[in-house]
Structure 1
Amino acid sequence: MSKNSILAGVLAFALVGQSNAGELDFAPGPVAGPLPWTHENFDSDPQKFTFAIHSDLTGGERPEIFATAMAQLALLRPEFLISVGDLIDGGGDRDELIGEWESYDARIEGARFPVLYVSGNHDVSSELERELWGERYGPIYYHFRYRDVLFLVLDSEDMTSERRVELVKQRLDAIEIHKTQGAEAALTTPYGQSAEKQSGAISEAQADYFVKVLADNSDARHTFLFVHKPVWEASSSPYARIEGTLKARPFTAFNGHVHAYAYTQRMGRDHIQLATTGGGFFPDLGMSEDHVTLVTVGGEDEVSIANLMLAGIRDKTGAIPNNGDALCFSAAACESK
């Protein structure tokens, strides 16, 4: 018998031994007659855990929103926090980029839970940005397991150096046109029309990496995929190989980038586009509102997803933390002020 088989058997035995932990913890006083509770089957599965997700900060980050979200997450106490990218504005020189990263790092430094980084186009579009990411945070795409659940973190800006240089120039031109002629004019530019702007890019090397990860982790009870741009929308992409491997297993995919919430199913699996956690509003694109997402994974393949609007997360005094009562968390509410 292999070491992995022995370990799996020990784990299974341990979980069986804990299956009634909730009932054993519940110790009511003597009650004669009918019971003033429904049952004693507590939702205390030892395999259950909850993590949080935050969305884009960029595209015109609004002051204090993200700091408020972090204070609210401290009340919610997830086991860890992960993003969908666009953590900084980017586009500057090395010193400016370092300053932006130090600002983000400082805002998450006090979190009692781990914070896992996911990259966006504002974070790793240029060669300089990617080089700096590597120096500070290591790999741009990676994976991890937590309680037999597999997490895939993709890089949606994974293209050749030549194409990257070309796109950076086109993007700068589009930004100038946006400033002088408006958003609609910017969409007609080469960058605005590029496939990479909408659905990003995945290299063959990255696809190879995740196909192997999925093969090596076929026993995971659920798989979560985090990526900034919706790479599955590309008409032709190496991501198709990742998706082909994923389709035989339960998985959930999250992306950001658009700053408007959207829910779709693809291959019968949930694909969720998050809105913002302090980034710019784009109400014409849909629900543009600040939120965090809580994901609870139960035994086997039980996944519950709750979107919590920042305007509704209050502390024990009834106030929004970080003096958040004075802030505006939705495009509609901001327009009315």
Structure 2
Amino acid sequence: MKMFYDELLFQTDKRPWVGELPQTSSNDFQFAIMGDRTGFAIEGKFEEALGLVKNMNPDFIVAVGDLIEGYWQQAEGAHREWDELEAHIKSTGLPFLPIAGNHDYSSVVMKQVWQERKGMDYYAFRYGKVLFLALNTEEPQQSLSPELELAFRETEILSKREPEKAEEVIQALLSNISKQQAQDPSSYQPKPCIGEQQFAFIEKILNEHQDVDWTFVMTHRPIWKTDGTVYERLVQALNSRPYTMLAGHFHKLEVEKKAGNQHIQMGRTGANKHKTGLDEFHHFIWVAVKNGFPSFTAIKLEGTLQLN
């Protein structure tokens, strides 16, 4: 298992991934990408997708973040959510490699829980001649006020108790959050941040693995939409190598090419809709890598959709 992380920064035996990547001498393999499970999870949907993925038997699974509801100010709630989720993940018997999303890493408490359970919040791995960068766009943390945390928990309960009203109560919460941000914009920094330490790691790994056929850059927030400065710096570091960027966050599947490279924004794998009237399906993406080059198919929980 060729895993890489910042050994000086992360002096821990904890790891964010579940399971071990199988050994490979081939440059042909398959993996699945899971989209946002939260917020607010529709009970059983993510687990349904895990079952389908398990039956397809990929070499491993990657997830683009927002795996738990999060936004806890007390660690017990976060640990309970991770315990429940990781039991489902382990039941697949497949290696599972997550990225930190805003729900997973949203406050000082959530960051501490992540580090306690998983150690590092960004890392890289290599499989055959393909390099994967699993990056963290959730610095600095954005805590909810005590009032909004209460509203968040109430929304979580109501969306599960009365799923037909989920869109209505979620919109009310998002409106509430927007009002608070408007009243105190200095307390909220919506742009993702990849700091200097993380960029130093990115540049080191890219420099050490110039021989790969393909590079996957995995973030929670689609930085090509949310932070032009970070995106341009990352593209410069990639230095014209073939790559695919993968992200989530907005609960809508979108695929676009920029400078000849695919940028895939995952939709939902279990999460509720966050936009009124958005008719978006639950899915995961199946990636088949052959001779070092990937092809992508969106697997709807009700069917398939070819992306190439």
Q: Shared fold by TM > 0.5?
A: yes
Q: Any conservation in 2 of the 1:264–1:270 contact (CA below 8 Å)?
A: yes
Of the structure 1 ranges 278-287 and 81-90, higher mean CA displacement relative to structure 2 is found in 278-287
Q: Does 1:227 align with 2:219?
A: yes
Cross-structure match for 2:100: 119
Q: Which letter maps to 1:123?
A: D
Deviations 1:135-180 (A, max 9, x none): 2112100000001100000101123xxxx3xx31469649859879
Other structure's SS at 1:210 match: helix
Offset at 1:210? 0.3
Worse overlay, 253-262 or 225-234: 225-234
Residue equivalent to 2:22: none
* RMSD over equivalenced CA pairs, Å: 2.8
- For residues 37-82 of structure 1, what are the alpha-carbon distances to aligned partners after superposition, in whole Å with 9 as ceiling and x for unaligned? xxxxxxxx94211000111111211111111111111111110001
2:204 counterpart SS class: helix
Contact 2:45–2:269 (CA under 8 A) maintained in structure 1: yes
Residues 26 and 128, structure 2, Cα contact 8 Å, conserved in 1? no
**CA distance in 2: counterparts of 1:148 and 1:285, whole angstroms:** 42
Cα contact 2:171–2:274 (8 A) shared by 1? no
- Equivalence for 1:304: 295
Q: Which amino acid aligns with 1:142?
A: Y
Counterpart in 2 of 1:19?
none
Q: Which residue of 1 aligns with 2:251?
A: 259
* 1:279 is aligned to 2:302: no
Q: Check whether the contact 1:295–1:306 (CA below 8 A) recurs between aligned residues.
A: yes
The alignment partner of 2:143 has SS state of helix
1-side partners of 2:245 and 2:276: how far apart? Answer: 24
CA offset at residue 234 of structure 1? Answer: 3.9
For residues 219-260 of structure 1, what are the alpha-carbon distances to aligned partners after superposition, in whole Å with 9 as ceiling and x for unaligned?
111000111001233455445322212141000011111111
Check if 1:77 corresponds to 2:69.
Answer: no
- 1:260, 1:287 within 8 Å by CA — same for their partners in 2? no
Assess, with a 3 A threshold, how the Cα gap between structure 1 residues 196 and 243 changes in structure 2: closer, same or farther. farther
Q: Secondary structure at the match of 2:302?
A: helix
Gap runs ≥5 in structure 2:
1-24, 153-168
* Corresponding position of 1:322: none
Match of 1:123, SS? coil
Q: 2:240 aligns with which of 237, 248, 253?
A: 248
Q: Summarize the alignment of residues 142-181 of structure 1 with structure 2, pairs less than 5 Å apart.
A: 142-159=123-140, 164=141, 167-169=142-144, 173=148, 176=151
Q: 1:268 aligns with which of 260, 268, 272?
A: 260
Counterpart for residue 47 of structure 1: 27
Question: Contact 1:204–1:238 at 8 Å: present in 2 too?
Answer: no
Distance 1:297 1:179 in 2: 38
| Equivalent pair of 2:171/2:276 in contact (CA under 8 Å) | no
CA separation of 1:283/1:312 partners in 2, compared to 1, >3 Å: closer, same or farther?
farther
| Inter-partner Cα distance in structure 2 for 1:311 and 1:152 | 30
Q: 1:188 to 1:230 in 2, by over 3 A?
A: farther
Give the fraction of aligned pairs with identical amino acids, expressed as a percent. 30
Are 2:56 and 1:65 equivalent residues in the alignment?
Answer: no
Tell me if 1:101 matches 2:101.
Answer: no
Give me the whole-angstrom Cα distance separating, in 2, the residues matched to 1:222 and 1:285.
37
Q: Is 2:35–2:63's contact at 8 Å kept on the other side of the alignment?
A: yes
Q: Is the 8 A contact 1:261 1:286 kept in 2?
A: no
Residues in 1 aligned to 2:297 and 2:264: alpha-carbon distance in whole angstroms: 12
Other structure's SS at 2:68 match = coil
Relative to total residues, which structure has the larger helix share, 1 or 2? 1
Instruction: In structure 2, give the amino acid aligned to 1:227.
Output: T
Radius of gyration: which is bigger? 1
Bigger relative contact order (CA 8 A; separation at least 6): 2
| SS of the residue 1:124 aligns to | coil
Alignment: residue pair count: 261
2:81 paired with 1:89: no
Letter in 1 for 2:257: Q
Distance 1:296 1:80 in 2: 12
Secondary structure at the aligned position of 1:63 is classed as coil
Give the structure with the larger strand fraction. Answer: 2
